[in-house]
Amino acid sequence: MAEQKKSEFLTYKGKPLVRSGNTIYYGSIGEKCVIMLQILTTKTVNGKEVADKVSVQLLSTDPELRMKDRILKKTEKQGLYSAMDVGAIWLERSL
């Protein structure tokens, strides 16, 4: 008997987080906007590699728009926590 696996995503403030390499998507693709976080640089803290400079973009999920036109807001932040904080606020306001 084949077992179906339910895919569960890591969530932050009730919205899914999906990581692909140095890019993290925050939010649901079924909604009108998502946040894309790109880790630009990393640094070593206590022997562990952590995000240093992170690009944050609020993207429209409208497939009819060109990729350049999908970017609604963008900024760069120091550290993943600051980037997630700004991203969560932007996403909440846009929805």
Q: What does the domain layout of the chain look like in residue ranges? A: 11-61+69-94
pLDDT of 6 over the 60 cut: no
Please state, in angstroms and rounded to a whole number, the distance separating the CA atoms of residues 22 and 9.
Answer: 17
Give per-residue burial for 6-21: e unless 16+ CB within 10 Å, then b: eeeeeeeeebbbeeee
- 52-72 pLDDT, tens digit per residue, is 999 999 999 999 999 999 999
pLDDT of 88 over the 50 cut: yes
Say what percent of the chain tops pLDDT 90. Answer: 84
Q: Beta-carbon neighbour count of residue 48 at 10 Å?
A: 8
Place of tokens 């952590």: 50
pLDDT at 9: 80
